A and B are shown apart, each in its own frame.
Chain A
Amino acid sequence: MSQAILQVEDLSKSFGGVKAVSGVSFELMENQVLGVIGPNGAGKTTLINLLTGFVRPDRGKVLFRGQNIAGMKPYKVANLGVARTFQMVKPFYQLPAFKNLVLPLKSPRAKQLTGGRYGDRDAVAKDLLEEVGFERDSWVIFKQASVLPHGYLKRLELARCIAMAADLVVLDELFSGLSLAEVASLVPVIDKLRVQGKTIIMVEHRLRELFRIADRVMVMNFGQKIAEGKPREVMEMPAVRGAYLGSEEEGA
């Protein structure tokens, strides 16, 4: 059996009295896909921010390949091989789409992995964009990111993770705001990452697609982990049904 790539122990963070994440622990094996679900405000995005260094935890450990990365600066975490996407897309709006990827390609990690021989970064960037579903040789990759539609920006986020050559990819609601067809076209990309041996954490509201991809699912509510297990099993648990479906009704 493969070994744990990520061990999270008792991770906690509060924002002025609100416990965004409290006492969350879990383990993730190499090449697994973990889905994180839960109602809005359950602390999923904070969890991601804690894992990737964007928020410093009050308590707890995040061991990535045995090394504690909790509270480490985001760029250091990224260089260790943990890449993330943002729920609110964060492209470089002033740059053309393919130039967006030149930045991650210039990161110390990307340089190290390729021995500094990335050759023509622009060409590599264009290849990467094709991989996530940009039409090659179309005008799209030369357009400024500020004029691209949402679907392309989400792809750009994913491409940035791929460019970082990360071992652990953390996807924050990658599918939100995408049409069914767009989601369907992204699923194979994620499958491919898996084949390449990456480990993936997906925070997602689209349960149907998530359950097809994820090996295991963790359910959060009010900052706490309330369940973890195989997708089908988890959804059978009464606590989950109460928390998740109950709050969805409230939201509706």
Chain B
Amino acid sequence: MARRLERLDRGIKVRSDDVFALNSWREMLYIIAPRVLPVLLLLVLGLAATPYWQRVIMQACMIGLLAISWDLLASVGMVSLGQALFFGIGAYIAGILDHYAGLGPWLTIPIATVGGAALSTLLLLPVLRLRGIYFSMVTLIMPLMIERIIEATKIFGGTEGLSGLQPMPHALVEIIAAMAVVWVALFSFNRMMSSDYGLILKGINDNDRAVMSAGLNIYLYKAQALFLAAGVGAFAGAFVTHAYQFVGMPVFALDYSILPIAGAAVGGMGTMSGPLLGCFILVPLNELLRGLGGMRTVIYAVLLVVFTVGLPEGIFHFIKRKYTQFERWVEVEQ
């Protein structure tokens, strides 16, 4: 007798998919808990942590935003290898506005978010006409080129960067704002992707010709997705700039491109929550392994390959599966 593993939805999952769930605390809890608990947990951690670890959590939030942005692009079929482009452009816009015009974070961050999104979209607009790996190639080389240009032409402080920028009003404001934006981005993007608008975006990834023959302008939708994703990345850049009161060439460095992708690979792509979870694992790990120095990047790179090739499911999908389904061995007749 051969056996095979059978997976079935848990009873409570099936019941809570139905409207009757509203009658039962248990079912309601089943739906609400996985959404509310992480928010509360992070809030408690964020408030209770030492200033040093608060910074780490803030960083995790920002890298998490880059990962959400990456995942959004990937689900429309644009695989970005250069999240640093969005991050860096946002960071520099905020830095320049603050340094030369003296605008505070309350003005620079919104301007950098929108302006950075517009600028990034404009830079990448031509690539949207092409399929496949062109997007990856161009996003990979663009931030590296910009970094080199800033170094060579010494604009905006050159290698020194711009320092002494205005800080965030208060450490507490900083951490709360970081968390709030992460959750807003996560839930609203998730919501968007499950709406009909999101279906179009997924459809472009699936089959762009069919989307066109359905009378929809795919460039327009791709550009909109790119704008949203770039905006999220630019926000993260601007936020970090003010948190550290400094902006310089490292914002275009590969690190900001690699960490989000590694987070997405480890956490599980395609859900936004997965990449975010991945970043909340990797960024604190990054701090704990500080002693290893350059070896850390090697570790991410290896994790990246191992998860993509060997465990493409990722941690989030694994947890979700365990939460919604149970497994049992059943005997099958030959």
A142 within 8 A of B: no
Are B218 and A94 in contact, with the CB atoms below 8 A? no
A75 within 8 A of B: yes
Which residues of B are found within 8 Å of A160, using beta-carbon distances?
210, 213-214
Are A75 and B202 in contact, with the CB atoms below 8 A? no
Which residues of A are found within 8 Å of B202, using beta-carbon distances?
92, 94-95
Are B200 and A86 in contact, with the CB atoms below 8 A? no
A104-B215 in contact given A95-B199, A99-B199, A121-B196 (Cβ < 8 Å):
yes
Are A103 and B203 in contact, with the CB atoms below 8 A? yes
Comparing A77-85, A222-230, A242-250, the segment that makes contact with chain B is A77-85
Contact with B along A54-84 (1 / 0, CB 8 A): 1000000000000000000111101100011
Which residues of A are found within 8 Å of B216, using beta-carbon distances?
75, 103, 106-107
B206 within 8 A of A: yes
Size category of the B interface is 10 to 19
A91 within 8 A of B: yes
Task: State the CA gap A160–B210 with chains docked (Å).
Answer: 9
Chain A residues close to B by CB (< 8 Å): 52, 54, 73-76, 78-79, 83-84, 86, 90-95, 99, 102-104, 106-110, 121, 160, 163-164
Known contacts A75-B214, A103-B214; 16 further A-B pairs (Cβ under 8 A): A74-B213, A75-B215, A75-B216, A76-B217, A78-B215, A86-B210, A91-B207, A92-B206, A95-B203, A103-B211, A103-B216, A106-B214, A106-B216, A107-B214, A110-B215, A163-B214
Chain B residues close to A by CB (< 8 Å): 196-197, 199-200, 202-203, 205-207, 209-218
**Closest residue on chain A to residue B270 by CB atoms:** A94
Are A106 and B200 in contact, with the CB atoms below 8 A? yes
A240 to nearest B CB, angstroms?
A: 31
Q: Is the interface of B mostly helix, strand, loop or mixed?
A: helix
> Can you list 12 A-B pairs, Cβ within 8 angstroms, ordered by A?
A52-B213, A78-B212, A90-B207, A94-B202, A95-B202, A95-B203, A95-B206, A103-B210, A103-B211, A103-B216, A106-B200, A107-B214
A191 to nearest B CB, angstroms?
A: 23
Q: Name the one of B196, B197, B203 contacting A92, with C-beta atoms under 8 angstroms.
A: B203
A14 to nearest B CB, angstroms?
A: 22
Are B213 and A84 in contact, with the CB atoms below 8 A? yes
**Closest residue on chain B to residue A164 by CB atoms:** B215
**Closest residue on chain B to residue A165 by CB atoms:** B215
Q: Name the one of B203, B205, B217 contacting A75, with C-beta atoms under 8 angstroms.
A: B217
Task: State the CA gap A99–B202 with chains docked (Å).
Answer: 11
